[in-house]
Each structure stands twice: as C-alpha cells, then as structure tokens.
C-alpha cells in the first residue's frame, strides 16, 4: 500500500509540473509553459519592447497585440529552438538586419497587421530554410525588395494581402517551389507580368482580387499548372487572352466578375477558352458594346463576337466615364488604352471599318474632346470619316483589307488589330 501511495504521489508531482506554468526564468508580464511545447506567452501586455531573458528552451513565443516598435538583431539570438513566433498587431516599423538570424528551426512567422512596417530589408528572412508560413498582411508595404524571399525553400503559405504594393519584381517567388497559397489581394498592382509568378510550380491558390490590374501578360501563368483557384475579380481588366489561360490545366475555381469586359472580337480567345474550361466560374459581365451590356461573356453566341467597337475613342470614353464614377481615373497614356486594338468587323458590316489615317492620334485627345455621350462621340468620328474619304473608297479599302484578314487564324488578340 505504501509503495502505491509513493508511486501515486510521484505521478501527481510529474503531472503538476507539466500542467502548471513554469515561472522560473520567465520574463515579467509573460506566462511560460513547458507543455505541449516550451512556450512564452506575452500577448496583450502593453509591451513597448521585446522582453529580455527569454528561456533558451522556448519553442513558441507569442508577442501579438502589444506596442512593440523595433525587432532588434539580438531579440531572439539565444532561442535557436524557436518554431513559432507571433508578433502581429503591434507598432513595428523597423526590423534590424539579422533579427531572425540563427532561427533555422522557425516554421511560422507572423508579423502582419503592423501598418508602419513599410520597408523590409532584402535579407530579413535569410536562413529561415524551414519556414512554411509567413504573414506580412496589413503592413503598409509599397514594395518588396529584390530577393526578399530568396532561400525560403520550405515556404507553403504567404500572406501579402491588404498592403499598398504597386508592382512585384520579376522572379520575386523564384525559390518558392513549394508554395501552395499566395494571397496578394487588396493591393494596387496594375500588371501581372510574364515573370512575376515564375517558379510557383506547386501553387494551388492565387488570390489577386481587388487590385488595379489592367493587363495580364500572355506568359504570366506559365508555371501554374497545378493551380486550382484563381481570383481576379474587382480589377480593371477589359480583356484576357486565351493564351494566358491555357497553362491553367488544373484550374477548378475562377472568379473574374467586377471587371469592365469588352465583348467584341477581341474577347473571342477567352470565349473559346471557356468552351474547354470544365471548372466553376463567375459571370463575366460585358461592359461594351452597349448592345451586350450586362450579358455574360461565356453565354454569348459566336455571332455576337463578330463585330467590334466602332472606334478606340468609344472604348476610351466608356472606360473613362466608368472609372470617373468609381473615383479611379485612367490617363489616356495608360497601358489599358494602349492595349485596346481595333479588329475587323463581320462581312455584313465591313463598310464601317475606319482607316487609321482618318482617326486622330489617341494622344491628341483631351478632356474636352472626350464627351460623356458615347453615341455623340461615335457620331463625331463618323462625320470626320465621311469628310476624309467617300463611301465608295471606304467600301473598297475595307473589302480588300478584311478579305486578307480572313486568312488569319483567330488565336491571338493581336490578330484582330487592323491598323
């Protein structure tokens, strides 16, 4: 009986030491635990600086929701077993070089929701070869330095949403072959370039919605063969080529709503791609021409895409008016305007093709020339055209031009450009 009692007391003591907070060596205002892993919990304590004398055995440190301003190079120099570090919702504005040096076992780093952290050192995350989750959301970042994610070969989840990013350098994610989730929504990115997403061969989800994207280059998604989810809704897209979408062979969920789609012959490559797409998609609401406004591009018939908007000025005027109402103005020098080609009309409307010589240079437009009435703008252009050449000349040149165009294959948006 005595032996059983002794054994029972020993078991109780072991359990007590594992369950009750271990106070020895624990920083002030923090609570330290040894189970399930050695943890230092200092969240919501009004701390202005990172506590010193953190136990060297610590594997998890929770410093979120304080008033920290700086992460120094010596802050975590003694805790080489660290695997989880949370510092979100502070006032951090500066991370010294080498602040995370030596944390080779770190798996999760959350420094999101630090709105004053507007600049990050190119070497801030060097050596974090086992890091699989990195939170940088709501940090006021306007750019990412070249090579900032270099060497993060284990990274799987990257959160960059709700910043002020205007663009991303080519090959920013080149070393992130294991990345599966990339969240870049609610930024100010305008163009998805050919090499911006290069190297993301295992990416599963890409969230690019609520940016200001006006153009996706044709090779932008070339490495995204395993992507299943793509969000591009609420951007400034008017066109998206089928060639850009072709590499997305695993895509299942696509959202493109909330853009200003031009539904004429330039939309045919995307329309053709949707005929092969087996996944789920949002509607693509046509913005122009006015005869198709509000209709879903995917549900249009082939005949609906035979014609094209009568002139670039009508496209410019319509987009300008829409953006003015939303508070986002586009310059006529904007890449969006330059990326809108004209295209041949159907056989029954060839006479309305306008020679490029009869159209004023888009760069000559000013705010007075762009009216708020697309129909009036169309009438003005028609009047200028009729003064420039006779109807017979127009008919003859149009027939010759579009007869040659019939021999071309409708595969690229540039194939529709009639200059």
**pLDDT digits over 90-113, tens only?**
999 999 888 999 999 999 999 999
Q: Is the pTM of this model over 0.95?
A: no
Kindly list the distances between the CA atom of residue 150 and the CA atoms of 89, 100, 131, 177, 192, in Å, as whole numbers in the listed order. Answer: 26, 14, 12, 11, 20
pLDDT at position 308: 66
- What's the Rg (C-alpha) of the chain? 29
At residue 291, φ and ψ (nearest 5 deg) are: -70, -20
pLDDT in tens, 161-206: 999 999 999 999 999 999 999 999 999 999 999 999 999 999 999 9
Q: Say how far apart CA 74 and CA 52 lie, in whole Å.
A: 9
Please tell me the predicted confidence (pLDDT) of residue 290: 87
Whole-number pLDDT of residue 411: 37
| Three-state DSSP class for residue 312 | helix
Coil, helix or strand at residue 40:
strand
Domain boundaries, the chain: 330-416
Q: How many CB atoms lie within 10 A of CB 154?
A: 16
Is the four-CA dihedral 99, 157, 194, 119 of positive or negative sign?
negative
Q: What is the pLDDT of residue 258?
A: 95
Task: Report whether 147 contacts 170 (CB < 8 A).
Answer: no
pLDDT of residue 336: 45
* Residue position matching structure tokens 């923090």: 30
User: Judging by beta carbons within 10 Å of its beta carbon (0-12, 13-18, 19+), is residue 318 exposed, middle or buried?
Assistant: buried
What's the pLDDT at 309?
59
List, in sequence order, the alpha helices (H) in 87-151: none
**DSSP strand pairing (181-183 vs 205-207):** parallel
- CA 209 to chain centroid, in Å, comes to 6
CA–CA gap between residue 149 and residue 401 (Å, rounded): 51
The answer to whether 345 touches 353, Cβ cutoff 8 Å, is: yes
- Cα-flanking dihedrals φ and ψ of residue 269, to 5°? -60, -40
Residue 35 contacts by C-beta under 8 Å, 6 or more apart in sequence?
Answer: 18, 19
Contact 91, 68 (CB under 8 A): yes
The parts of the chain modelled with pLDDT lower than 50 are 1-21, 23, 311-314, 316-341, 344-419
Distance between CA atoms of residues 345 and 306, nearest Å: 6
**Helix, strand, coil in percent for the chain, rounding step 5:** 25, 10, 60
Question: Using an 8 Å Cβ cutoff, are 365 and 381 in contact?
Answer: no
Question: Is the separation of the CB atoms in 333 and 298 below 8 Å?
Answer: no
The two structure tokens encoding residue 254: 């696509």
């Amino acid at each position: 009986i005595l032996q059983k009692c002794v054994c029972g007391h020993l078991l109780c003591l072991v359990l007590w030491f594992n369950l009750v907070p271990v106070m020895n060596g624990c920083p002030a205002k923090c609570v330290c635990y040894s189970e399930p892993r050695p943890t230092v919990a200092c969240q919501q304590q009004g701390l202005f600086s990172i506590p010193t004398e953190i136990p060297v055995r610590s594997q998890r440190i929770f410093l979120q929701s304080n008033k920290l301003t700086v992460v120094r190079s010596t802050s975590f120099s003694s805790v080489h077993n660290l695997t989880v570090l949370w510092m979100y919702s502070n006032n951090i504005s500066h991370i010294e070089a080498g602040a995370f040096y030596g944390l080779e076992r770190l798996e999760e780093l959350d420094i999101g929701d630090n709105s004053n952290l507007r600049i990050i050192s190119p070497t801030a995350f060097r050596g974090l070869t086992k890091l699989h989750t990195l939170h940088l959301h709501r940090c006021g970042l306007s750019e990412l330095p070249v090579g900032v994610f270099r060497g993060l070969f284990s990274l799987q989840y990257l959160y960059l949403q709700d910043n002020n990013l205007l663009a991303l350098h080519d090959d920013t994610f080149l070393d992130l072959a294991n990345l599966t989730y990339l969240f870049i929504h609610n930024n100010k990115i305008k163009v998805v370039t050919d090499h911006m997403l290069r190297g993301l061969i295992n990416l599963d989800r890409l969230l690019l919605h609520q940016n200001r994207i006006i153009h996706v280059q044709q090779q932008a998604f070339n490495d995204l063969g395993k992507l299943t989810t793509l969000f591009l809704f609420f951007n400034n897209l008017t066109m998206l080529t089928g060639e850009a979408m072709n590499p997305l062979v695993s895509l299942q969920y696509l959202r493109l709503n909330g853009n200003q789609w031009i539904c004429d012959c330039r939309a045919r490559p995307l329309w053709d791609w949707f005929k092969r797409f087996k996944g789920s998609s949002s509607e693509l609401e046509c913005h122009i021409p006015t005869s198709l406004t509000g209709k879903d591009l995917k549900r249009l018939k082939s005949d609906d895409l035979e014609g094209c908007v009568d002139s670039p000025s009508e496209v410019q005027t319509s987009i300008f008016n829409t953006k003015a109402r939303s508070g986002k103005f586009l310059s006529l020098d904007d890449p969006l305007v330059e990326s809108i080609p004209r295209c041949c009309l159907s056989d029954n409307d060839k006479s309305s093709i306008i020679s490029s010589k009869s159209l004023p240079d888009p760069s000559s437009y000013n705010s007075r020339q762009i009216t708020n009435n697309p129909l009036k703008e169309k009438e003005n252009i028609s009047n200028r055209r009729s003064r420039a050449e006779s109807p017979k000349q127009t008919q003859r040149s149009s027939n010759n031009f579009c007869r040659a165009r019939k021999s071309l294959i409708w595969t690229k948006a540039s194939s529709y450009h009639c200059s």
